[in-house]
C-alpha cells in the first residue's frame, strides 16, 4: 500500500534535543513567468503530513507486517516499562488460542508493554516532571508547519508543548503498545485536528476494506482514527488497523464489551468491561471514549427530548442503569479505570452520552449537567496523570455554539474539547458533512482542539471510500479555516502560495497545493476545451478578471 501526492517529496526534519526525524511533505512549485519571459522562483511549501511511511518512497509497507515501530527505541530508553510475558486479558488469550479466527488474524510478533510497578509513564506525568520527551519535540517540530521556510516565527517550542501537556491543556496520545503512530498533539493552542471514524457493523464491511479505508483517511489528512466496529472480529479488525496506522487510534471499549455478552445490556459487568480495557490497552489503542459522566440523576432530564439519547455508548449505559437500578459503573469505577489507563498511557476521552441529537435538544439541562460531571472526572484522571479529552456535541444551531465552548471552559479546567460537528441544522441528510463543517469551523475557532468528522452518509448508512474522502476534506477545510482565524503560525502560507499560483495561472501548482489535488485536476480537465493556459472555462478569454487585472495591479 502506498500514498502519493503530486509534486511532493517526503522530507524529514531533525530534532535538536532528541535524535528524531519528523516526516513532513514538501510541495515543489514552478517559477512565476512574467510577460517579458523573466522567471522568478517560488519557494516550496512544507505541509503537515499524516500519511506516515506510506508516502515515503524509500519504505515499502507490507500491511501483513505492519508499519515501522518508530517510537520503540524512545520507549525503551525511558526504561520505565516492562514487556509482559503474555497478554493480560482473558478474552485476548482465549482468542489467540482460538484457531477458527486464524484466517483473519494479524500475526502477533510483539508482546505488550506496561508501566513497571511504581512507575508513571504518561506524557502528562513526564511533562509535570519537566521532562521534554521525544514525542513532545516531535510535535513541536511538526506544528511549525513552515519551519524550513524562513521568516515564520516559531511560537511552538518543545518547552511550550511540555507546559501545555503538563497543564492538561493538550494531549499527546501515545500508548507504548502503538509505537507505529507518529506523535501528534491535541490542544487549543495547536493546529486544529480532525478525527475520522471507521468501523464495520454487524451488517457490512470486512477487515481488508476497513484497513484500506483507515489508511485512505490518513492520505486525506485524518489526524486520529476511531475504530467503532461493532460486528464480528472486532479484536482482529482492530489489530490490523493499529499495526498499520501512522496516527493514534481510539475506540469505545463498551462496544466490544457488549458484543462479548451477545448484545445483552443487562449482562454487562465491570469484570467484562475491565478485561476489555486491558485487552485494548495491550493491543495499542491510544484513547478510549468512556461515558462516565452520564448519571442516574440525569435520566429524568432526557424525558421530553425530541430525539432522546443519540450517543450509542450513552444509550447503552442509560439502559444498563435503568435495568439494574444502579449508578453508571464507569463513574463509580472511574478511579479503577484510571489505574488501568495510566499503566499504558491511554488517554481518556470523556464521552458526552447526552449530546443533543437535534437542534431542538441543543444546550439543554441534560447536556450541560453531564458536562459538569466530565469536569469533575477530569480532575480525578489528572490525579493519576491520565491525559483527558472532553467530548462535545452534536446538533447545535449557530447562535448556541459558543455557549458550548464557554461551558466546557467553565467546567473542564482547560482539557481539550473534542466535538462531533456540531451540525447546524437537521434538514440535510445526505449533506451532513456540510451542515456540520459549518459548525465545526466555528467551534474550532472558539477553541475546540479536535473535530470529529461527519460523512455524507451520516444518519443514513456506513461510509464508503468516497464518503470518507468527502468527510475528511470537509473537516480539513473546517480545521484550516479555524487555524487561519486563530492565527496559527504559518497556516496562511499555504493559502498565500495557492492564491499566488492562481493569479499566475500556474494551474498545476494551484492543484498541487490544494487539499485534494486529484479532484481539482479532474474538475479542471472536465471543463477544458483545448490547451488554454491563461483563462478557464468559467470566464472564457475576454472575461478573465485575473488576466485583465494584470495590467492594473502590477
Contacts of its own copies in 492-551 (CB under 8 A): 492, 494-496, 498-500, 502-503, 510-511, 513-516, 519-520, 522-524, 526-529, 536-546, 548-551
Cα–Cα nearest to 89, from 337, 290, 253, 276: 276
Told to check if 21 binds its own copies by CB under 8 A, we report no
Cβ closest to its own copies, residue 180 vs residue 458: 458
User: Which of the ranges 100-108, 124-132, 134-142, 458-466 carries the binding residues for its own copies, by CB under 8 A?
Assistant: 458-466
Cβ closest to its own copies, residue 110 vs residue 528: 528
Convert residues 330-359 into a mask of x (bound to its own copies by CB under 8 A) and - (unbound). ---------------------------xxx
Closest CB 100 distance from its own copies, rounded Å: 22
Cβ closest to its own copies, residue 7 vs residue 536: 536
Strand ranges (E), 103-157: 113-115
Cβ closest to its own copies, residue 409 vs residue 434: 434
In eight-state DSSP terms, residue 235 is H
Told to check if 403 binds its own copies by CB under 8 A, we report no
Contact positions with its own copies (CB under 8 A) in 183-202: 201-202
Q: How many whole angstroms from its chain centre is CA 404?
A: 20
Cell numbers linked to 503 = 493569479
Cell numbers linked to 55 = 508516502
Contact positions with its own copies (CB under 8 A) in 206-235: 230-231
CA atoms within 13 A on the CB side of 458: 28
Buried residues in 458-470 as b, exposed as e (16+ CB within 10 A): beeebbbeebbbb
CA atoms within 13 A on the CB side of 348: 32
Cβ closest to its own copies, residue 96 vs residue 301: 301
Distance CA 528, CA 165 (A): 51
Distance CA 383, CA 205 (A): 40
Closest CB 398 distance from its own copies, rounded Å: 4
Contact positions with its own copies (CB under 8 A) in 427-456: 427-431, 433-435, 437-438, 441-442, 445, 456
| Contact predicate 287/252, CB 8 Å | no
Single out the residue of 393, 394, 478, 506 in contact with its own copies (rule: CB under 8 A). Answer: 478
User: Which of the ranges 135-143, 237-245, 332-340, 468-476 carries the binding residues for its own copies, by CB under 8 A?
Assistant: 468-476
| Contact predicate 288/346, CB 8 Å | yes
CB atoms within 10 A of CB 536: 16
Told to check if 484 binds its own copies by CB under 8 A, we report yes
Closest CB 397 distance from its own copies, rounded Å: 4
Radius of gyration of the chain (CA): 24
Told to check if 480 binds its own copies by CB under 8 A, we report yes
Alpha-carbon distances, residue 530 vs 355, 508, 524, 527, 545 (angstroms): 53, 16, 12, 9, 20
Contact positions with its own copies (CB under 8 A) in 291-320: 299, 302-303, 305-312, 314-316, 318-319
Pairing of β 388-392 and β 417-420: parallel
Closest CB 265 distance from its own copies, rounded Å: 8
* Measured distance between the N- and C-terminal CA atoms of the chain, rounded to whole angstroms: 46
Cβ closest to its own copies, residue 73 vs residue 545: 545
User: Which of the ranges 171-179, 184-192, 206-214, 421-429 carries the binding residues for its own copies, by CB under 8 A?
Assistant: 421-429
Amino acid at each position: 500500500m502506498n500514498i502519493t501526492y503530486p509534486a511532493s517529496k517526503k522530507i524529514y526534519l531533525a530534532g535538536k534535543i532528541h535524535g528524531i526525524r519528523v516526516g513532513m511533505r514538501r510541495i515543489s512549485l514552478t517559477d512565476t513567468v512574467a510577460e517579458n519571459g523573466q522567471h522568478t522562483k517560488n519557494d516550496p511549501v512544507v505541509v503537515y503530513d499524516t500519511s506516515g511511511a506510506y508516502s515515503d518512497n524509500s519504505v515499502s509497507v507490507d500491511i501483513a507486517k505492519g508499519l515501522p515501530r518508530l517510537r520503540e527505541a524512545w520507549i525503551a530508553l525511558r526504561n520505565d516499562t516492562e514487556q509482559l510475558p503474555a497478554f493480560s486479558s482473558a478474552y485476548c488469550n482465549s482468542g489467540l488460542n482460538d484457531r477458527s479466527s486464524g484466517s483473519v488474524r494479524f500475526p502477533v510478533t510483539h508482546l505488550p508493554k506496561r508501566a513497571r510497578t511504581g512507575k508513571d509513564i504518561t506524557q502528562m506525568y513526564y511533562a509535570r516532571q519537566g521532562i521534554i520527551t521525544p514525542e513532545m519535540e516531535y510535535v513541536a517540530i511538526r506544528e511549525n508547519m513552515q519551519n524550513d521556510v524562513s521568516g515564520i516565527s516559531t511560537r511552538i517550542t518543545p518547552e511550550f508543548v511540555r507546559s501545555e501537556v503538563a497543564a492538561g491543556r493538550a494531549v499527546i496520545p501515545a500508548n507504548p503498545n502503538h509505537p507505529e503512530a507518529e506523535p501528534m498533539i491535541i490542544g487549543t493552542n495547536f493546529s486544529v485536528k480532525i478525527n475520522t471514524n471507521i468501523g464495520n457493523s454487524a451488517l457490512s464491511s470486512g477487515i481488508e476494506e476497513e484497513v484500506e479505508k483507515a489508511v485512505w483517511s490518513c492520505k486525506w489528512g485524518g489526524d486520529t482514527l476511531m475504530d467503532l466496529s461493532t460486528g464480528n472480529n472486532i479484536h482482529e479488525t482492530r489489530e490490523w488497523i493499529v499495526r498499520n496506522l501512522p496516527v493514534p487510534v481510539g475506540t469505545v471499549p463498551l462496544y466490544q464489551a457488549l458484543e462479548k455478552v451477545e448484545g445483552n445490556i443487562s449482562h454487562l459487568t465491570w469484570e467484562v468491561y475491565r478485561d476489555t480495557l486491558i485487552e485494548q490497552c495491550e493491543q495499542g489503542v491510544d484513547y478510549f471514549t468512556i461515558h462516565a459522566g452520564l448519571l442516574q440523576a440525569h435520566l429524568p432530564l432526557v424525558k421530553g427530548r425530541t430525539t432522546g439519547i443519540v450517543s450509542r455508548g450513552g444509550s447503552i449505559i442509560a439502559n444498563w442503569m435503568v435495568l439494574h437500578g444502579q449508578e453508571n459503573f464507569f463513574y463509580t469505577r472511574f478511579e479503577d479505570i484510571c489505574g488501568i489507563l495510566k499503566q499504558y498511557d491511554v488517554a481518556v476521552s470523556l464521552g458526552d452520552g447526552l449530546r443533543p441529537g437535534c437542534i431542538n435538544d441543543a444546550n439543554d439541562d441534560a447536556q450541560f449537567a453531564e458536562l459538569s460531571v466530565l469536569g469533575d472526572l477530569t480532575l480525578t484522571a489528572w490525579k493519576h496523570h491520565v491525559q483527558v479529552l472532553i467530548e462535545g456535541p452534536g446538533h447545535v444551531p449557530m447562535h448556541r455554539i459558543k455557549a458550548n465552548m464557554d461551558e466546557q471552559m467553565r467546567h473542564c479546567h482547560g482539557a481539550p474539547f473534542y466535538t462531533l460537528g456540531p451540525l447546524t441544522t437537521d434538514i440535510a441528510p445526505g449533506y451532513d458533512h456540510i451542515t456540520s463543517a459549518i459548525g465545526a469551523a466555528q467551534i474550532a475557532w472558539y477553541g475546540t482542539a479536535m473535530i470529529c468528522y461527519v460523512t455524507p452518509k451520516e444518519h443514513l448508512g456506513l461510509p464508503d471510500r468516497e464518503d470518507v474522502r468527502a468527510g475528511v476534506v470537509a473537516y480539513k477545510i473546517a480545521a484550516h479555516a479555524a487555524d487561519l482565524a486563530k492565527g496559527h503560525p504559518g497556516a496562511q502560507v499555504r493559502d498565500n502560495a495557492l492564491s499566488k499560483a492562481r493569479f499566475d495561472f500556474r494551474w498545476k501548482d494551484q492543484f498541487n497545493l490544494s487539499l485534494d489535488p486529484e479532484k481539482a485536476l479532474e474538475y479542471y480537465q472536465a471543463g477544458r476545451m483545448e490547451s488554454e493556459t491563461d483563462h478557464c472555462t468559467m470566464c472564457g478569454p475576454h472575461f478573465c478578471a485575473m488576466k485583465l487585472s494584470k495590467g492594473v495591479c502590477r
